[in-house]
Amino acid sequence: MLENKFPGKDITIDDIKTKFPLVAKNNPNHFSKFKVNGVEFGGKKIPIFAGPNMVESKELILDCAKNIKKIGGHFLRGGAFKPLTFPYRSKKYTETREEGIKWLKNAKLKTDLPVVTEIMEERYLELICKTADILQIGSRNMQNYPLITACAKTKKPILLKRHYGASLRDWLGAAEYILCEGNNKVILCERGVSVPHTHRNTSRFLLDLQVVPAAKEITHLPIAVDPSHATFWRPWVEPMTLAAIASGADAIMLEVHPDPENSAVDPLQPINFKAFKNLMNKMDKVAKILGRTVK
Amino acid sequence: MLENKFPGKDITIDDIKTKFPLVAKNNPNHFSKFKVNGVEFGGKKIPIFAGPNMVESKELILDCAKNIKKIGGHFLRGGAFKPLTFPYRSKKYTETREEGIKWLKNAKLKTDLPVVTEIMEERYLELICKTADILQIGSRNMQNYPLITACAKTKKPILLKRHYGASLRDWLGAAEYILCEGNNKVILCERGVSVPHTHRNTSRFLLDLQVVPAAKEITHLPIAVDPSHATFWRPWVEPMTLAAIASGADAIMLEVHPDPENSAVDPLQPINFKAFKNLMNKMDKVAKILGRTVK
Amino acid sequence: MLENKFPGKDITIDDIKTKFPLVAKNNPNHFSKFKVNGVEFGGKKIPIFAGPNMVESKELILDCAKNIKKIGGHFLRGGAFKPLTFPYRSKKYTETREEGIKWLKNAKLKTDLPVVTEIMEERYLELICKTADILQIGSRNMQNYPLITACAKTKKPILLKRHYGASLRDWLGAAEYILCEGNNKVILCERGVSVPHTHRNTSRFLLDLQVVPAAKEITHLPIAVDPSHATFWRPWVEPMTLAAIASGADAIMLEVHPDPENSAVDPLQPINFKAFKNLMNKMDKVAKILGRTVK
Amino acid sequence: MLENKFPGKDITIDDIKTKFPLVAKNNPNHFSKFKVNGVEFGGKKIPIFAGPNMVESKELILDCAKNIKKIGGHFLRGGAFKPLTFPYRSKKYTETREEGIKWLKNAKLKTDLPVVTEIMEERYLELICKTADILQIGSRNMQNYPLITACAKTKKPILLKRHYGASLRDWLGAAEYILCEGNNKVILCERGVSVPHTHRNTSRFLLDLQVVPAAKEITHLPIAVDPSHATFWRPWVEPMTLAAIASGADAIMLEVHPDPENSAVDPLQPINFKAFKNLMNKMDKVAKILGRTVK
């Protein structure tokens, strides 16, 4: 019967073999680990991405880089191209764009901390590739196949954020678009999904940690978790970060800001350097129980 | 308190006035209607978009155009650029791309039926604009702001499909990106949202008809409904189409194919010409109860 | 493989045959219609349930009954046992319980309008059965099997509201509990489901009209729709009611109150008598297009 | 404006103070801990509930009790009253009801392990209270207020499972029904919620760990997590259990069975004694990082 060909919402073993052969676990070209600037993904070590939501200024991003490096973070994160849900900018919130990328480069050069930053348009690919060690595909662009294909072709490692409405099947399909260009360096990143109930009127997403063991069951790709964006609420970041490590996450992305309440964007979610340092210690302890390490 | 600035998931009156001023109902530049190739949107008439999911061949699309024209449809729909969830093509399913656009143009010239087709990449904008009367932004690209801004600048009317995980707030924010470029000709299009339960193992979305009165309460933009894609199941297309009209939809998009079961893509959802003709009659009758008309 | 025995979230043909044999369409004991007080369900006529959320006073419910009867409604609805989400009563909101049931009986005797009212506890079954023509199982009790079994045994017709988180499979399973007691008079009632996005900060549910054709495809049970409770917003009641009729609903339940803004509970959702009369006319017109009738 | 009185889907500080005063954190009668059979809830120790889904036989439940006791579990769990989603029993699956309760009592007497078991009907309250140390309200009955009120009056501690579609607000409202009867011994229990995507075709729920910090922010009630039922998939139980501990859970409920694949019900989810022992050790290590303990 015709309809039996449509197995429904959830990924199946048959799907994986025929439609997602390269992301599939145990495929002939299966790899288990890869390195970015000497930091291994998919191995014993759990790399930590930390930094502000937005590259607000040259000073701020340098300050972040120095402190994150000192505390032991492995990658500096920060966005320069970050449009809002509506097209207008506020007095406080302005994308820093090309200039932001320069400031990020300066911070990288001064601290030797590798950088991950979001790419929103192919026209900025060359510019961003000169600074970024990992290209971040934001959740809104998870299925923007022309953009992810262009990124894949640069052979730069790619951090592929999950769309807030995407199934695991949709997400792995997008990853397959990258791998089929010959680029195997893909890190999946869970950042919260839309659900009927989110517990606070400030929150919009639920961190889906069940997707961590679910993904690891069928794909060899490492999976990162971003608890800051998902919870949108500072007090929940620590418990959900530790839970992410315990669930088996291969990397963690955190918003860290010197003065969280005055962050130019989403001030309810970043943690400060002191909280980050404290959290690094706790993450490392949880990781060790699983035979892994953060530091 | 800082957190009071974050009003949560749902759009509010305050949001609309400050962040979505151009899409807001009763704003100073409020317009109520606009025409595309002589067909009015937002008026008494409810335009019908019909055609195959994909422009499979020159003959098929011409056959569709002739029949849809004869039956009384107002626009020919059909995709030439249509990537799947994964990057591989099947023997049956191949995007027809530039050639498909040519076939669409041929069908348009032969029948004088205006055309709506999806644009996935800015690089094809010039090509597609030569054929398309309305540019369709697919649900995956709803928040691809560079793409929708480039489309907006052409001044072509735009059909903005809702992402399957998007709130009304996200969706209207994307529309505001178009209007702030000076392009007022935007048609919203509901096509099913991801929900916990979808009733059949072949179905993945739920048609959200409550969004029709919800949108009409706060925006002056016309709202279309696509029951074919949402239901993914032929027997449900007729009842949900009539329900869409009854809920106040301003336009309807339908998948119509001469031989639905042998459609190159999604064969469970298209209806044939005969069913389309029958449905046109019923839609017209429901529309008339609301003081509107389809034919 | 063991896991193949668990077909997932959605009801399947195999499920229906083996686990839900009595609710299944075309089963050997399939019936298509049944009558309650002379009003047929599952036939050409679409019965309308109307009345206040709560039986607030003897006068109010009598006033409602008289007006609803005059306008052409077929059943008087009203709750006497209606606990809130938390255990406290407000000055305005108090359950009227045994007294409310008496007032309902008085209204029924004076107008000859049959009555549907909710049963929350087995201990009130005898009392309520003396007045009610149809027993309503509220959404919170949809899977309270001891209660629904006790109700089933009385042989009274049962209106089974869907839980806001229930799949079609869960819902039909609950209906099967009634039919297996030898009681075939079950009316399913959709009243809104929890979803990620609901469009207004006052609203909590989305009316699922796709479940109407979905249910009719696999079960012979008539399906009612309650747009008042689902939308929780007066201006959306009319469009969603007409959409419900157009989608194939077999009955409609509406909150009607002489002074909606001063309703003791949920004042944003009831419509007044004038709006009800107007809506009856429109419903009848939509029904006629489907070969059915409301009046 | 009338509609401002309806603050929407999520619980607010104002809600808590006025509508949920007894479950609210820092209320005048706030308590932080309580003991059941010498085991403290809400303190440093994290109690573990373990046992089979169903009390299948006298031997099986005694075997479970002995092994769980030896390994260090604090409570024996097991259901005797467990109706399925549909009313029929299979050859393998039969509720053991009164007899099951007797077998549970025997296991308790032989091992001195306190017992938690589900109560579905008030008529069995006296019987079950003679054996149970904690009464479990199942998710289907979370808003069955007459049942939970009757249970509350016995002064027995109550484990209140969250409905799979319930918001935190709905859930705390149900808990308030218990506390307002003068019974403060309530343990909340998260067991998975319905969401758009669940990753496997066998799974139906997503474990919501974000609700753990969310609940602890506004209520003083301890919160347990049941990863077995939520994941419905053995390989995910360990990672999600450790994640639950890391997120701050105050208790854990696990399905443990001597021969999981031959479990009479839900054979995909229980773990065996060996896996349970291994998990106890890991849970204890994670708990210690948070200054707590399992053993």
Contact C195 B206 (CB under 8 A): yes
Q: Which pLDDT belongs to residue C57? A: 96
Q: What is the pLDDT of residue B82?
A: 86
Name every residue in C having a CB less than 8 A away from some CB of A. 8-10, 165, 194-197
Phi/psi at D293 (5° precision): -155, 150
In a domain, B294, yes or no: no
The answer to whether the Cβ–Cβ distance between D239 and A246 falls below 8 Å is yes
Contacts of C231 in chain B (CB under 8 A): 210, 213
Please say if the pLDDT value at position B14 is more than 90: no
Nearest neighbour of D289 by CB, restricted to A11, A230, A282? A282
With the C-alpha atoms ordered A212, A215, A220, A225, is the resulting torsion angle positive or negative?
negative
The residue of chain D with its CA nearest to that of A233 is D214
Burial class (CB in 10 A: 0-12, 13-18, 19+), B197: buried
Q: Which of A2, A140, A201 sits opposite B143 (nearest CB)?
A: A140
Residue B127's CB: how many other CB atoms inside 10 A?
Answer: 16
Judging contacts by C-beta atoms under 8 Å, the chain D residues touching residue A245 are 246
Record: contact A7-B164, CB cut-off 8 A: no
Quote the CA–CA distance of B207 and B190 in Å, as a whole number. Answer: 7
Cross-chain Cβ contact C197/B168 below 8 Å: yes
Q: How confident is the model at residue A9 (pLDDT cuts 50, 70, 90)?
A: low
Helix intervals (H) in B33-121: 58-71, 97-111
**pLDDT value at position C91?**
65
Q: How far apart are CA D14 and CA A148, in angstroms?
A: 45
Mean pLDDT of B132-157: 97
Partner residue opposite B173 with nearest CB, options A85, A123, A201: A85
Residue of B nearest to D204 (CA): B196
Task: Indicate the pairing of strand B115-118 with strand B75-77.
Answer: parallel
Task: Find the closest chain C residue to A11 by CA distance.
Answer: C8
Distance from CA of C255 to the nearest CA of A (A): 25
Per-residue pLDDT at C26: 82
In a domain, B100, yes or no: yes
Q: Is B240 helix (H, G, I), strand (E, B) or coil?
A: helix
Residue C259: its pLDDT value, please?
A: 97
Q: Which chains touch B (3 or more CB pairs under 8 A)?
A: A, C, D
Contacts of B165 in chain D (CB under 8 A): 196
Band of the pLDDT at B202, cuts 50, 70, 90? Answer: confident
Look at residue A159 and tell me whether its pLDDT is greater than 90.
Answer: yes
Choosing among D4, D14, D197, D206, which should be mutated to test the B contact, i.e. which has the most B CBs within 10 A?
D197
**Which residues form the domain of C221?**
43-81+94-289
Query: Total structural domains in chain D?
Result: 1
Structure tokens at B185: 């000709």
| Distance (Å) from the alpha carbon of C68 to chain A's nearest alpha carbon | 36
Q: How many CB pairs under 8 A join A and D?
A: 142
Chain D residue nearest residue B193, CA to CA: D196
Three-class DSSP category at A144: coil
Residue of B6, B183, B257, B268 to mutate, interface with A, max A Cβ within 10 Å: B6
Lowest mean pLDDT among A218-227, A247-256, C24-33, D190-199: C24-33
pLDDT(C14) > 90: no
Residue of D nearest to C181 (CA): D87
Q: Considering the domain boundaries, does residue A213 fall inside one?
A: yes
**B12 contact residues in C (CB cutoff 8 A):** 201
pLDDT tens by residue, C77-119: 999 998 888 888 766 677 899 999 999 999 999 999 999 999 9
Question: What is residue C200's predicted lDDT score, i.e. its pLDDT?
Answer: 84
Q: Which amino acid, residue D151?
A: C
Tens digits of per-residue pLDDT, B157-171?
999 999 999 999 999
Position C216 in a domain: yes
Percent of chain B with pLDDT over 70: 94
Expressed in percent and rounded to 5, the helix, strand and coil fractions of chain C are 40, 15, 45
Distance from CA of B195 to the nearest CA of A (A): 8
- Residue C185 belongs to a domain: yes
Show Cβ contacts of residue D42 under 8 Å, excluding neighbours closer than 6 positions: D32, D33, D34, D220, D221, D222, D250
Per residue in C205-233, pLDDT tens? 999 999 999 999 999 999 999 999 999 99
Query: Which chain B residues are within 8 Å of D194, Cβ to Cβ?
Result: 196-197
- Predicted confidence band of residue B3 (pLDDT cuts 50, 70, 90): low
Q: What is the model's pLDDT at position D91?
A: 65
Average pLDDT (A5-32) is 75
Chains touching A, CB cut-off 8 Å, 3+ pairs: B, C, D
Contact C26, C52 (CB under 8 A): no
C touches which chains (3+ CB pairs under 8 A)?
A, B, D
Residue D153 contacts residue D169 (beta carbons within 8 Å): no
How confident is the prediction for chain A on average, in pLDDT? Answer: 93
Q: Mean pLDDT in each 10-residue stretch from start to end of chain D (295 residues)?
A: 56 78 83 88 96 97 98 98 84 84 98 97 96 97 96 98 94 96 96 91 90 95 96 96 98 98 92 98 98 96
Q: Pick the more confident residue, B264 or D256.
A: D256
Of B27-36, C30-39, C80-89, the least confident: B27-36
Q: Quote the minimal CA–CA distance from D199 to chain A in Å.
A: 6
Tell me whether residue B88 is in a domain: no
C-alpha dihedral sign at A268, A274, A279, A280: positive
**What is the model's pTM?**
0.95
Mean pLDDT (chain C, rounded): 93
Q: How far apart are CA A199 and CA A197, in angstroms?
A: 6
Look at B166 and C197 and tell me if their CB atoms are within 8 Å: yes
Q: How far is B107 from chain D (nearest CA, A)?
A: 39
User: Which residues in chain D are contacts of C84 at CB distance < 8 A?
Assistant: 173
- Measured between beta carbons, which residues in chain B are less than 8 angstroms from residue C8? 201
First and final CA of chain B: distance in angstroms? 55
B85 pLDDT more than 90: no
Q: Is residue D295 part of a domain?
A: no
For chain A, what's the residue count?
295
Characterise A189 by phi-psi region: left (phi > 0), alpha (psi -120 to 50), beta (else).
beta
Chain D environment of B195 (Cβ under 8 Å): 196
Alpha-carbon distance C47 to nearest alpha carbon in chain D (angstroms) = 28
Q: What's the gap in Å between the CA of D195 and the closest CA on chain B?
A: 4
| pLDDT score recorded for residue B6 | 55
Chains touching chain D through at least 3 C-beta pairs below 8 angstroms are A, B, C
Q: How far is D159 from chain C (nearest CA, A)?
A: 18
- The pLDDT of residue B5: 56
Please give the pLDDT value at position A6. Answer: 55
Confidence of residue B4 (pLDDT cuts 50, 70, 90): low
pLDDT for A288: 98
Question: What pLDDT, on a 0 to 100 scale, did the predictor assign at position A272?
Answer: 98
User: Which stretch of A73-87, B148-162, D235-249 has the lowest confidence by average pLDDT?
Assistant: A73-87
pLDDT in the model for residue C15: 76
Residue A10's pLDDT band, with cuts at 50, 70 and 90, is low
Residue C280 has pLDDT above 90, yes or no: yes
CA dihedral B240, B244, B245, B250 (to 10 degrees): -140
Q: Which two tokens stand for residue A167?
A: 């199934």
| pLDDT exceeds 60 at position B8 | no
Residue of C nearest to D168 (CA): C85
**Nearest residue to C132 via CA among C142, C143, C118:** C118
- pLDDT at residue B173, rounded to an integer: 95
Annotate C112-146 with b (16+ C-beta within 10 A) or e (fewer): ebbbbbbbbbbebbebbeebbbbbbbbbbbbbbbb
Instruction: Please state which of the ranges A90-94, C56-60, D50-54, D73-77 shows the lowest mean pLDDT.
Output: A90-94
pLDDT of residue D49: 98
Q: Which of D8, D9, D196 sits opposite B194 (nearest CB)?
A: D196
Q: Would the CB atoms of A243 and D243 count as touching at under 8 Å?
A: yes
Q: How far apart are CA A204 and CA A196, in angstroms?
A: 10
Q: What's the pLDDT score for residue D247?
A: 98
Higher pLDDT, B15 or A72: A72
D6 contacts C232? CB cut-off 8 A: yes
How far is the alpha carbon of A112 from chain D, nearest alpha carbon, in Å?
Answer: 32
Confidence of residue C6 (pLDDT cuts 50, 70, 90): low
Q: Which residues in chain D touch residue C166, judged by CB atoms under 8 angstroms apart?
A: 165
Contact yes or no for B93/B264 (Cβ under 8 A) = yes
Binary contact (B210, C199; C-beta < 8 A): yes
Q: For C122, which DSSP code?
A: G
- Of the candidates A8, A10, A195, which has its C-beta nearest C196's C-beta? A195
Residue at B223: amino acid letter: I
Mean per-residue pLDDT, B35-47:
95
Higher-pLDDT residue of A57 and B10 is A57
Judged against a pLDDT cut of 80, whether residue A15 lies above it is answered with no
Q: Is A243 a member of any domain?
A: yes
Which of D199, D211, D282 faces A199 most closely, judged by CB atoms? D211
Test mutation, A2, A197, A206, A217, chain C, max C CBs within 10 A: A197
**Least CB-CB distance to A286: which of D212, D240, D289?**
D289
Q: Are B269 and B284 in contact (CB under 8 A)?
A: no
CA-based max dimension of chain B: 64
What number is the average pLDDT over the span C47-70? 98
CATH of the domain at B234: 3.20.20.70
- Show the tokens assigned to C250: 């077999």
